[in-house]
Structure 1
Amino acid sequence: MLPSGRGSSPAYRPAGWRTAVRVLLTGSTGFIGRQLLPALEAAGHEVTTVTRTRTLHHTPAVRADLRYDALMPAVDGHEVVIHAASVTAGSETEMWNGNAVATRRLVEAATAVGARVISMSTTGVYGRSSGMFGDPLHIRRAPSSPLSRSRAAAEDAVFGAGGTVIRPHVVFGPGGRWVVPPLVHFMGAGNAWLGGADIAVAAISTRRLAEGTAALLHRRLPTVIHAAEPEPVPVADLIRSAFTASGAVFPSRVVSVAAAHTRLRRFGVSLNALRMLGESSRMDSGTFWAADAPTTGSGQTNSPARPEPKLRAYP
């Protein structure tokens, strides 16, 4: 079954376990950010959000567009910036500006005031979506799409400032649109498992990702961290609630990833997207969950690790 209890992770700490950190959070209304906000507040941190529109929650907020507006006023006075905003659809230029440009500008402002940066990214920068994801400091990036190239360039900005990038693989939870719902639709329409009924993947829920991230703020961190449950999550568990809610039964047959791609590629579905849930994966996420990692002052930047290869500017 899916991990759900707060007490099931060694990284979880009750509210107030250490000194509060002044955090600036971007993307607080997004898929991951809407879980990050309550997790940070529950951990006792002082959170301010950045939003382009009027906020509806009680948390202090500043209005700014990361792509264009002056960001120093927003960042000033904060010890840590958690960057969870991203653009995952649109034109190549829109994704570049929303990821690469916005992150570079945010990092420049954070560096100017001495705030360290923790940024959400994705394993999409590896250019593959199955198999073993080991030590992220030893995996070369090979982004293969405009989106993943813009995310890799955003990572470079964070690395250049001594910040930390968190790379989850499969992320699921309330409001998710890109992973579980399309798989459920595919399986229901074709009465077939994608790849097999025994597939298990490197996955984490938005709530667990948020709680684990909130527990990182007092730690000395490497430049890259993988985030996933300690053991792969069965795909059957990811889709179980959707099938139960609809009264449907699990499929009785299997369609291979290759066959599914032949059928769906004319609709723009990539082979990597199908492999993400149609082939098994696992991840070395020990650093993310480490309970006894060295701690540091809340505002101290990370020691630089081995630099990742710089990518040529795109587009």
Structure 2
Amino acid sequence: MGATGFVGSATVTALASAGIHCTAVARTPSHTEIPGVVSARATLADPASLERALIGADVVIHAASYTGNDPAQCVAVNVEGTENLLAAAAQNGIDQVIYVSTIGVYGSGPHSGIGEFEAAPAPVSALSASRLTAEHRVLERGGCVVRPGFVHGHGDRWFVPGFTRILETLGAWVDEGRSRISIIAVNDLARLLAGLAAQSPARPGDVFHACHPDPVSVRELGQALADSGRLRLPATSLTFDEAVTAGARHGLTERHLDLIGRDHWYDPARLWTAAGVGVGVGALHHFPSRR
């Protein structure tokens, strides 16, 4: 589900590349023809369309989520829509559902190298809270949950643009850009999801982090963006508290500054092993592509 989105479209390609036949389910199916892939139209709000789309499936990768700020939409799409999808899967005898969530469910940092069961989620937004509730629904039905780090790559409209805007608006590093975060290229995330889906069963009731094993510093990310022409590097640095005060004058909240000023890195070793996928390259190898 969500087959034409940022993560979903990459996952369809990864499944096809691995020789796994799949049905690409989306509100508006893609017109691109990929060998081994059939398209189906369905929406999370329409249970009947979901039941039809899932006929013949063995595993569902649920990568469709609302990512805006409307609390009502968060519940309608992320919670109720997930419940509809789970019911449709059950009607088709499918008990393997992989839900693509987010490390945002952990809330504010610092988080430094934690495993999946070493910190309790503490979402600080209606969006992240709805994603966590969706996780609970999936786990209750015997599905599994994948929490990606910050995802970058072709089609990214959130991480790199948001990171760049925050750093440019503040005009300074926070603590010299030393904080570290977990990132993952969308194609690597797709390979992990495809590898997990190919397992039988797909780790029922489990939770995984999905990110490159090596965290990267905010300064390293900033330098990579500067090298690709996307960012002019700051010349000064502030403490986190100074950044909160300075940022407020420019419309930045503490939540914004949390991204560039506190650690957000996680241990993903269990997923790379479970999916049987090799890491291959460094965390910054595909970051970012020149615009």
Q: TM-score, normalised by structure 2?
A: 0.82
1:281 is aligned, of 264, 285, 289, to: 264
Deviation at 1:149, TM superposition (A): 1.4
1:49 is aligned, of 15, 24, 38, to: 24
Identify which range, 88-97 or 188-197, moves more after superposition: 188-197
Residues of 2 paired with 1:54 and 1:161: CA distance? 27
Residues 1:62 and 2:37 are matched in the alignment: no
**Match of 1:204?**
184
Deviation at 1:190, TM superposition (A): 4.8
**Match of 1:213?**
193
Q: Map 1:10-25 to 2 at 5 A.
A: none
Residues 1:163 and 2:138 are matched in the alignment: no
Query: Normalized per residue, which structure has more helix?
Result: 2
Unaligned runs of 5+ in 2: 277-291
Conserved? CA contact 1:187–1:193, under 8 Å: yes
User: Is the alpha carbon distance of 1:292 and 1:97 closer, same or farther for their aligned partners in structure 2, counting shifts above 3 Å?
Assistant: closer
Secondary structure of residue in 2 paired with 1:65 = coil
1:228 is aligned, of 208, 211, 220, to: 211
Residues of 2 paired with 1:198 and 1:275: CA distance? 13
In structure 2, give the amino acid aligned to 1:280. D
Secondary structure of residue in 2 paired with 1:216 = helix
Secondary structure of residue in 2 paired with 1:107 = helix
Secondary structure of residue in 2 paired with 1:101 = helix
Deviation at 1:232, TM superposition (A): 0.6
Residues of 2 paired with 1:129 and 1:37: CA distance? 32
Residues 1:121 and 2:101 are matched in the alignment: yes
Secondary structure of residue in 2 paired with 1:290 = helix
Residues of 1 paired with 2:189 and 2:113: CA distance? 17
Deviation at 1:76, TM superposition (A): 1.7
Residues 137-165 of structure 1 show CA distances to partners (whole Å, capped at 9, x for unaligned) of 34322222111111111111101111000
2:9 is aligned, of 13, 34, 41, to: 34
**Match of 2:234?**
251
Residues 1:103 and 2:82 are matched in the alignment: yes
Secondary structure of residue in 2 paired with 1:66 = coil
User: Is the alpha carbon distance of 1:113 and 1:139 closer, same or farther for their aligned partners in structure 2, counting shifts above 3 Å?
Assistant: farther
In structure 1, give the amino acid aligned to 2:11. L
**Match of 2:281?**
none
Deviation at 1:265, TM superposition (A): 4.6
Residues 256-294 of structure 1 show CA distances to partners (whole Å, capped at 9, x for unaligned) of 33333334457764423422232223312111111697x
Residues of 1 paired with 2:57 and 2:156: CA distance? 30
State the percentage of identical aligned residues.
Answer: 33
Secondary structure of residue in 1 paired with 2:98 = strand
In structure 2, give the amino acid aligned to 1:214. A
Q: TM-score, normalised by structure 1?
A: 0.76
